[in-house]
Chain A
């Protein structure tokens, strides 16, 4: 049995469907964003946890020069160590068929047969190398896919000075390389960096490491203090050239995943909060006005004997219908977007399986947030309607109480027409509601700016990184520290125009309890190729003393210029020194630490030793140069800047722009929702007045002026507020979304502001069309029959 009240509910919903749907859509966007982020986060976390667990991702990692395998027993005795696996890990120069420039292969030794004890491989295809068959390797999946290689493919590696053929017999994933990035680089490049697994008995002899190891990974017992174990392990390995043991949070792959997760966590909070706030705004506007027009209906219901609770429930039900529709659509949207986002992750993160599933507590949370926002947004309006004394309905119509207002006192009204006065008075009369509308529109503009700034920001970032800062074409890294003569050798290679050597050593930086592993980059006085750029966008020279920290590193260590940091070098004699922070420099990628090469050489108590060089080359002779570099034994790796730029553009930039597209759709929904809604509601609320004007002989256009004038006034008032709000939101979003390794500059170009403003005016134009249609449809006679 449908009661009369329920029927009224349905009819009212039917009549008000447009503004309510607008509110529901905005809410849908908020709930969708929460659902997407939390679900993607949870999917990622679950995939990571189960992968780490099933494939025994180590807790502690340590690299060293060389130690006899017997040392493993000593390591196993370190209190807290549950299991230790020793191995040989080397980076080699790879000659990959179909790739002009040399690639880097990271080769890791494995026992003859699984299990390995830690870091078990997930064999996707093929098999493990067979004992006795030389040159069989397993390659990582990313590398295979990037090249489109099939099993049986050969690659050539320069192994300890000899070119050796490797046949790929298996494709695998490792929990240590979920995110595969070449050490010292900022972007993953599966084409130019591959991980390979070869049986120990084959790898160790090739590098004169038979019976020895140069890398160890550890599992520790639950509940053990990690730092203590790291220190103890470090103590054991020191005499074997240990490069400093480190925990998961310094492990590259793990760090990138957790970075991504913290970014997702930020995304699960800020944008949805904004969208839901906007939805609450829209609902507030829609409902306070709907109820305003229904005051007498509400009072009449009360007069008939409906209780306050029943009346409140009646309107609350309407809100909940909106919230339900919004939630349902939002869940669908979140599910769909979550799928897309998860698919984006599979570009970067290699899990055996990364399946997206709706995170139910997240969905519940999203819906609770949506319902909460809608009830909060409508609470006062509903409470007021329910509390209306029944006598209200019996009284003769009481026109809204207008009084002489500020404008009038200032004498402004004298100079504007009665129509203008109607606009001004109406706005003055309902300052709170006008303010809500202004805020709503401002919020919409702000979200538009936040949603679209990324485009300009990404362009800026790319320009900063690949043009302003990095002016080299190639970066060559040597296997071993070399003398300056090695640079001269490079300079003599075909096509090389200029060279700029650098020295890089692994190190740990500490300040109080904050610490980070990051290579120290020793650069020539004022680099002209690998330039360090100041916040004024000019290249700066290396300080005579002390370090230049990237913004992100300075933030992680919580230090400012003038402070000191403890530097522990993790190579060679492993010197430790307290050094001054000479300055900080803007960085959008990576967490670089720079000093002069001389300073670094002095710190290392070594001669004028270098680790590699940046080159500019004549592209015409590129093929020739690459061919030579591929077979140069001392070269551990070559980085091609243009390749990095392409990767950045095709992966990171593209993803940022996909997210931006989402945001933009969201933002437009809000902008349109708020303005459209204000128009619709104004129309409903003032139909009586407008129809009266029409009857008195005002043309449709004139009547439109009154009502559109009001909306336009509010919109114009909202624009400056929205621009400022947009800037703040963008700053906030940029800081919330930045990770330790990647930052998007909170750089808003004028075009973004212009775009947002234009979009708002476009929404206004549509709203005016809505108003126009509404005025065309005004039933003049209907109006005369009611009190209005």
Chain B
């Protein structure tokens, strides 16, 4: 049963230790393990290989950036990892659970219990306040944070009672991050979280992600088009034409503050 998967619960006391571990990575536990992952769309006569034989392991506590040209299959890969989509062939494991064998209901449970999502377009529920948007998720989680605590984490503790329409784009995105992390997910998957934002707001959002990764030790995978962002990652995975083109480990992780684009 996948809900027996361990949660990488971290106490604040070993935050420093975690940070050190990330600089010199290789927590040997592969959280995700994909083998021969293929996603094919058939459009009449034409077959489109969104993914074409991807082998990839993602480890506990890592901050991974996915790079690649448009249409290279980044979103497809992330969606499969997040249980939003299923591969056409190949296997993907979350810990020792075979996601590729899951049905819709199990995938929903998997998402509910283990995955946090952040999207390019925030996808907040307009009829709920910031705190309530977070609450939407914490109420169905087993050991969530307090929604306000999650908002503090992204620096929006004082905007908890505002509706999305009363927040800027960057603020909305930080609420989305708070919503994603509030249930203490095991993995945080972000698809172009800064895509719709300007530099400063983009940096604030990345800072929020980095902080969550640092303080909670959540495996974080971020898709971006901005190679600069790659410098704050532990590892950078580049896709091209549905295949992994390269995997690079950053010897030194840059701080978010030093980013410019």
Chain A residues at the B interface, C-beta cutoff of 8 Å? 396-404, 417-419, 421-422, 425-426, 429, 688-689, 692-700, 702, 780-781, 783-788
CB < 8 Å: which of A400, A421, A426, A699 contacts B165? A400
A398-B165, A418-B135 known; A692 vs B84 contact (CB < 8 Å): no
Q: Is the CB of B120 within 8 A of A400?
A: no
User: Within residues 124 to 174 of chain B, which ones have a CB less than 8 A from any CB in chain A?
Assistant: 124-129, 132-133, 135-137, 139-140, 161, 163-165, 169, 172
Q: Is the CB of B128 within 8 A of A421?
A: yes
Contact residues in B for A696 (Cβ distance below 8 Å): 111-112, 117, 136-137, 179
Closest to A784 in B: B119
Q: Is the CB of A396 within 8 A of B105?
A: no
B75 at the A interface (CB under 8 A): yes
10 closest residue pairs by CB, A with B: A697-B112, A425-B127, A399-B126, A697-B111, A399-B164, A692-B123, A402-B163, A418-B136, A400-B126, A401-B165
Q: Is the CB of B163 within 8 A of A401?
A: yes
Contact residues in A for B128 (Cβ distance below 8 Å): 402, 418, 421-422, 425
> Considering the chains assembled together, what is the distance between the CA atoms of A781 and B113 in angstroms?
19
Chain B residues at the A interface, C-beta cutoff of 8 Å? 75, 79, 82, 84-85, 104-105, 108-109, 111-113, 115, 117, 119-121, 123-129, 132-133, 135-137, 139-140, 161, 163-165, 169, 172, 179, 191, 196
A425-B128, A689-B126 known; A784 vs B191 contact (CB < 8 Å): yes
Contact residues in A for B85 (Cβ distance below 8 Å): 780-781
Instruction: Output the residue of B84, B112, B117, B172 with the most chain A CB within 10 A.
Output: B84
- Extra 15 A-B pairs, beta carbons < 8 Å, given A697-B137, A781-B84, A784-B121: A397-B121, A399-B163, A402-B163, A419-B136, A422-B127, A689-B125, A695-B84, A696-B117, A696-B179, A698-B108, A699-B108, A781-B79, A784-B75, A784-B191, A788-B121
Contact residues in B for A702 (Cβ distance below 8 Å): 140
CB < 8 Å: which of A403, A694, A785, A786 contacts B108? A694
Q: Is the CB of A787 within 8 A of B140?
A: no
Sampled A-B contacts (27; CB under 8 Å): A397-B121, A399-B124, A399-B126, A402-B126, A403-B163, A418-B128, A418-B135, A418-B136, A418-B139, A422-B125, A689-B125, A692-B123, A693-B125, A695-B82, A696-B136, A696-B137, A696-B179, A697-B108, A697-B115, A698-B108, A699-B108, A700-B108, A783-B123, A784-B75, A784-B123, A787-B121, A788-B123
Q: Is the CB of A421 within 8 A of B123?
A: no
Count of A-B contacts judged by CB separation below 8 Å:
99
Q: Is the CB of A418 within 8 A of B163?
A: no
Task: Determine how close the nearest CB of chain B comes to the CB of A786; give it in whole angstroms.
Answer: 7
Contact residues in A for B79 (Cβ distance below 8 Å): 780-781, 784
Task: Determine how close the nearest CB of chain B comes to the CB of A67; give it in whole angstroms.
Answer: 88
> Considering the chains assembled together, what is the distance between the CA atoms of A784 and B115 in angstroms?
16
Contact residues in A for B137 (Cβ distance below 8 Å): 696-697
A402-B164, A418-B139, A784-B75 known; A699 vs B105 contact (CB < 8 Å): yes
Contact residues in B for A421 (Cβ distance below 8 Å): 127-128, 132
Task: Determine how close the nearest CB of chain A comes to the CB of B221; give it in whole angstroms.
Answer: 15
Closest to B85 in A: A781
> Considering the chains assembled together, what is the distance between the CA atoms of A783 and B84 in angstroms?
11
Contact residues in B for A399 (Cβ distance below 8 Å): 124, 126, 163-165, 172
> Considering the chains assembled together, what is the distance between the CA atoms of A783 and B126 in angstroms?
15
Task: Determine how close the nearest CB of chain A comes to the CB of B163; give it in whole angstroms.
Answer: 4
Q: Is the CB of A402 within 8 A of B139?
A: no
> Considering the chains assembled together, what is the distance between the CA atoms of A404 and B129 in angstroms?
9
Contact residues in A for B127 (Cβ distance below 8 Å): 400, 402, 421-422, 425-426, 429
Instruction: Output the residue of B105, B109, B128, B179 with the most chain A CB within 10 A.
Output: B128
> Considering the chains assembled together, what is the distance between the CA atoms of A465 and B86 in angstroms?
72
> Considering the chains assembled together, what is the distance between the CA atoms of A404 and B132 in angstroms?
12
Q: Is the CB of B163 within 8 A of A688?
A: no
Contact residues in A for B75 (Cβ distance below 8 Å): 781, 784-785
> Considering the chains assembled together, what is the distance between the CA atoms of A403 and B123 in angstroms?
18
> Considering the chains assembled together, what is the distance between the CA atoms of A403 and B115 in angstroms?
30
> Considering the chains assembled together, what is the distance between the CA atoms of A533 and B126 in angstroms?
64
Closest to B123 in A: A692
Q: Is the CB of A786 within 8 A of B121?
A: yes
Contact residues in B for A403 (Cβ distance below 8 Å): 163
Task: Determine how close the nearest CB of chain B comes to the CB of A487; give it in whole angstroms.
Answer: 81
Contact residues in A for B104 (Cβ distance below 8 Å): 700
Q: Is the CB of B136 within 8 A of A693?
A: yes
Instruction: Output the residue of B117, B179, B191 with the most chain A CB within 10 A.
Output: B117
> Considering the chains assembled together, what is the distance between the CA atoms of A781 and B120 in angstroms?
12
Contact residues in A for B125 (Cβ distance below 8 Å): 422, 689, 692-693
> Considering the chains assembled together, what is the distance between the CA atoms of A697 and B139 in angstroms?
11
> Considering the chains assembled together, what is the distance between the CA atoms of A697 and B119 in angstroms?
15
Task: Determine how close the nearest CB of chain B comes to the CB of A693; give it in whole angstroms.
Answer: 7
Contact residues in A for B84 (Cβ distance below 8 Å): 695, 780-781, 784
Contact residues in B for A697 (Cβ distance below 8 Å): 108-109, 111-113, 115, 137, 140
